[in-house]
Amino acid sequence: MDISCLEHRLTDEERNQFNETGILEVENALSLEQIAALTIGSDRIYNAKIVNGHDPKTALFFPDFIPIDPQFADLVDYERTLPKVWGILGWNIYLYHAHLIVTPPCGKAADEKTFGWHQDSGRVNVEMESHPRPRLSLKVAYFLSDTSEPGRGNFWVIPGSHLKDNLELPEGGIGQPKGAIPVLAKPGSAVYFDRRLWHSASPNWSNITRKVLFYGYGYRWIRTKDDMTVQSLWENSDPIRRQLLGGNVNCNGQYSPTDEDVPLRVWLREHSPNDAN
């Protein structure tokens, strides 16, 4: 990893914002060339699913896409985003889950139905005894299409809701919970969100297909949430990327890591010691 990535470390202001709201948006995290190339890669996956019978009017949720195209693996340790991930979670991390979501125009008129609000991680929210719930993981969402206006299948969030264990939904399944807003992300934006943030997908009432790549980072003792068939990439990955793709020496190293398990810590000790604790 090049030390130029340190320019993109989490600032105090960003840390405060993330801690307070559970979300942080960084515009222009991807260049126009990256957006174009990642869009071609995403379209290839989407078009293959359509050929295989996916309904073109419904959203495609496609996990385990990292091994399909090298440019998806390049984002795992991307120099503009990874420093903020380790700034929030620390160095004992890996990519536990990733998915592509393509939301085509739904072809219906806008309505007021309540969206599918949730916190990430399923049973973790039931079986983990603590209040507030622990952070454990976050996602970085790379927006490839323009969602800078509402109605385009936007990602919706309730800023500050990450410290709440319950969400009050409107009665009768109409309307969105108090404080809910659409994230108006432009192409190239990276949106970081705490897994506890109450959030939702929304219907795409526009005529612009929404495309977003989600990268979920969590502690190395968390199990993967999709098949994550990335092992074939280990051999040709540099040590930090290998760590982020789940490579380790043995299972004990997920809980009590040695330097060999966590090259990210070794690198930080040398180049950014405050982040190596």
Ligand X SMILES: O=C(O)CCC(=O)C(=O)O
- Least distance to ligand X from the beta carbon of 205, Å? 14
Q: Cβ closer to ligand X: 101 or 180?
A: 101
- Least distance to ligand X from the beta carbon of 277, Å? 29
- Interface with ligand X, residue 98, by CB under 6 A: no
- Least distance to ligand X from the beta carbon of 154, Å? 7
With 0-12 CB in 10 A as exposed, 13-18 as middle and 19+ as buried, what is 243? buried
- Least distance to ligand X from the beta carbon of 199, Å? 5
Q: Pick from 144, 146, 127, 195: which is nearest to 40 by CA?
A: 144
> How far apart, in whole angstroms, are the C-alpha atoms of residue 154 and residue 183?
6
Q: Cβ closer to ligand X: 138 or 268?
A: 138
Q: How many residues bind ligand X (CB under 6 A)?
A: 7
4 residue type, one letter: S
Residue numbers 102-131 binding ligand X by CB under 6 A: 120
- Interface with ligand X, residue 262, by CB under 6 A: no
Among 66, 138, 140, 201, the residue binding ligand X under the rule CB under 6 A is 201
Q: Cβ closer to ligand X: 88 or 264?
A: 88
Q: Cβ closer to ligand X: 18 or 214?
A: 214
- Least distance to ligand X from the beta carbon of 155, Å? 4
- Least distance to ligand X from the beta carbon of 222, Å? 15
- Interface with ligand X, residue 133, by CB under 6 A: no
Q: Cβ closer to ligand X: 165 or 238?
A: 165
- Least distance to ligand X from the beta carbon of 211, Å? 10
Among 80, 162, 199, 242, the residue binding ligand X under the rule CB under 6 A is 199
Among 35, 38, 101, 240, the residue binding ligand X under the rule CB under 6 A is 101
Residue numbers 204-223 binding ligand X by CB under 6 A: 214
Among 86, 96, 155, 267, the residue binding ligand X under the rule CB under 6 A is 155
> How far apart, in whole angstroms, are the C-alpha atoms of residue 54 and residue 185?
26
Q: Cβ closer to ligand X: 6 or 163?
A: 163
| Non-local CB neighbours of 179 within 8 Å, separated by 6+ positions | 158, 159, 160, 161
Site residues (CB under 6 A) for ligand X?
Answer: 101, 120, 139, 155, 199, 201, 214
